[in-house]
């Protein structure tokens, strides 16, 4: 599959799980979030078809996908501004 199709699958199958309840669990201790962050990076590497140990920062930027920490900050900011 091409990268665009894999990105679409990512937004359909993975992103909803990250977004669900992120305001409740997003501020958890880093050691508690480690497994989720590792799985998220694995998904990004799979979408980009790169090696398992490739650095993910440029991949997130290329795909225009927020990391879990950034997604939490974004959702928290939206929540604070609405209330």
pLDDT in tens, 7-64: 999 999 999 999 998 999 988 898 999 999 999 999 999 999 999 999 999 999 999 9
Beta strands in the chain (DSSP E): none
Q: What is the dihedral of CA 66, 27, 39, 15, to 10 degrees?
A: -50
User: pTM for the full model?
Assistant: 0.88
């Amino acid at each position: 599959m091409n990268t665009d199709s894999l990105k679409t699958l990512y937004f359909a199958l993975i992103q909803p799980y990250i977004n669900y309840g992120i305001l409740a669990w997003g501020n958890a201790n880093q050691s508690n979030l480690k497994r989720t962050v590792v799985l998220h990076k694995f998904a990004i590497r799979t979408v980009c078809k790169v090696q398992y140990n490739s650095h993910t920062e440029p991949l997130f930027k290329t795909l225009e996908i927020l990391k879990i920490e950034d997604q939490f900050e974004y959702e928290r900011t939206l929540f604070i501004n609405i209330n």
